[in-house]
Amino acid sequence: MGQLEDMAMFVRVVEAGSITKAAEQLDIAKSAVSRRLKDLETRLGNQLISRTTRQSNLTQSGELYYQRACRILNEVDALNEQTSDSPTRIEGTLKMTAPLTFGLMHLNEIIDDYASQHPNLSFELDFSDRHVDLVEEGYELAIRIRALQDSTYQAKRLALVRCSLCASPDYLSKRGTPQTVADLAEHEFLQYGLGKYGSIELTDDQGKTHKVVTQSKIKANNGDFLRDMAVKGQGIVSLPTFITYQMVASGALIPILGQYQLPTLNAYAVYPKNRFLSQRCRYLIDFIAERFGDDPYWDQI
């Protein structure tokens, strides 16, 4: 193995948190990773990782080597891409995670098209709403729809996510269509999340925000379920338009109080801050961003 390969292996050990986890992610023997790490340290004449029976920690030299190694690996990858006369060969396995509903509704065609363009590429996809530690579990990329607070990750915005209030024609015919924020107090809501109290915020055309504590008839942690309950006439629901757009287009759900704005979210591609980001990952991020943007197709119906 060359020095760049050993450098990449060292970066994987640091980001995985242990030699054992790095070996699992690289699908090679733990002894092989240990030997290559030891050879690297011998060649450098310095210990990079302080290892005990219970834990491993970067030494001061190891921290410096890790930071520089990440930059070098990214620069080498970019240089190869810029100077190559042949089309970029996207290969290997791309391991990513995305929210369940968003992934099933909006990543199918994207993954299909991307896989068709790059036949040497394989995927491992985790569609779930659980919080995934990318480094701990060896993921390259996550799609997240939330406010980002963790400074250990970098992110690229993929799409603006708008929300709306909806209810079924049957529900509105029985309970009446709210015309003002005050009218919402007389209605039943379908709450996303299992918190004790539900609430929504609406902003009027003057920029004034109105917070409404809602009466939650049904609480659930899945947007598909709540959308279906709204279609069946169980109450008013506040959900991202990427979940409700088909039902709105068919008339099964009717948007209400359109003169008010609900808070917007963003869909991000998230990846570890200092990790060497593969071409397969960078190209997919750009591919998704081009498909969505600030006026995604689900808001054009």
Query: pLDDT tens across 54-92, in order?
Result: 667 888 888 888 888 887 877 777 676 666 555 567 888
Asked whether the beta carbons of 126 and 256 are under 8 A apart, the reply is no
Residue 166 has pLDDT above 90, yes or no: yes
- Tokens linked to 227: 């959308």
Q: What is the DSSP string of 194-232?
A: --SSEEEEEE-TTS-EEEEEEEEEEEES-HHHHHHHHHT
**Cβ of 79: how many Cβ atoms within 10 Å?**
10
Taken in order of first residue, the domains within the chain and their CATH numbers are 3-83 (1.10.10.10), 92-156+267-299 (3.40.190.10), 163-256 (3.40.190.10)
Query: pLDDT tens across 132-151, in order?
Result: 888 778 788 999 998 777 66
275 pLDDT band, cuts 50/70/90, is: low
For position 137, what pLDDT does the model report? 80
Is the whole-model pTM more than 0.85?
Answer: no
* 3-state SS assignment for residue 93: strand
Query: pLDDT tens across 203-222, in order?
Result: 988 889 999 888 899 999 89
What is the distance between the alpha carbons of residues 152 and 80, in angstroms, rounded to a whole number? 27
Q: What percent of the chain has pLDDT over 90?
A: 47
For position 72, what pLDDT does the model report? 83
What is the distance between the alpha carbons of residues 151 and 63, in angstroms, rounded to a whole number? 18
Report the interhelical angle of 19-26 vs 3-16 (nearest 10°): 120
Distances in Å between the Cα of 19 and the Cα atoms of 48, 95, 215, 297 are 13, 19, 51, 44
Query: pLDDT tens across 180-210, in order?
Result: 999 998 899 999 988 888 889 999 888 899 9
Asked whether the beta carbons of 262 and 164 are under 8 A apart, the reply is yes
